Amino acid sequence: MGVGQTARIDTSLVRNVIAGEETAWHRLVRLYSPSLDRFMHRCRIPESDRDSLRNEVFAEAFAGLSGFVGQNRSRSFLKWIWVIARHRVSRFVDSEKRRPDRASGGDGVPGLISSLPDPSAGPTADDRAELLRAILNELDLDETDSNLLKMYYMEGRTAAKVGESFGLTDVAVRKKVARLLKRIREQTDGIEDW
């Protein structure tokens, strides 16, 4: 499955968080923080406000995890937390508009409003690539395997083009990618099914 496609969720990591496993929670936060940071940067949230906003997103996500587990199993955790982030960012922008020092259209409010993503849009291929990048940083892949996945998923190159770079056939690239993705699913408890 490519980065731009919807991922099927296996909720084992989420279930471990619900069960109170602190390491599972830290892993979830570590995997999804870069995607949230990228999203907030794209929405032009001031850097000074991003930490507290990200914490609010994770707090809301934590409070709703049992509901997520009960939802449609084809829903991506990235998309679910992205919806929470989008709502939090909208509330942040609304609160900025009400601040007396911002009411006259002061620093950044018009820019914040115009930069909010389309409410009907979900995470982009770049958002999913950011998540994959975070996952790859946690894994012990050799440089060749890491570069192969980056070219295939993050850069969107065809198996034939990737194969040319590594002296492999397109079939060999697809087999190698399938094995690597299986390993990623195993090591990340299947939180996203690449």
d(CA 41, CA 45): 6
Q: Is 139 exposed, middle or buried (0-12, 13-18, 19+ CB in 10 A)?
A: middle
The predicted structure's pLDDT at residue 165: 93
pTM comes to: 0.57
Q: Tokens at residue 61, please?
A: 């996500």
Intrachain domains 12-120 and 139-194 with the same fold:
no
The predicted structure's pLDDT at residue 90: 84
State the CB neighbour count (10 A cutoff) for residue 85.
26
d(CA 194, CA 180): 10
Q: Which residue has the tokens 């295939």?
A: 152
Q: Tokens at residue 65, please?
A: 């995890």
CATH code of domain 12-120:
1.10.1740
Buried b (16+ CB within 10 A) or exposed e, 169-190: eeeebbebbeebbeebbeebbb
DSSP conformation class of 192: S
Give the domain ranges of the chain.
12-120, 139-194
End-to-end CA distance of the chain: 5
d(CA 83, CA 15): 20
For helices 22-42 and 47-63, angle between their N-to-C axes, nearest 10 degrees: 130
d(CA 159, CA 163): 6
Question: Which residues, given as ranges, of the chain have pLDDT below 50?
Answer: 1-10, 103-107, 109-110, 113, 119
The predicted structure's pLDDT at residue 163: 94
d(CA 25, CA 41): 24
CATH domain 139-194 topology:
Arc Repressor Mutant, subunit A (1.10.10)
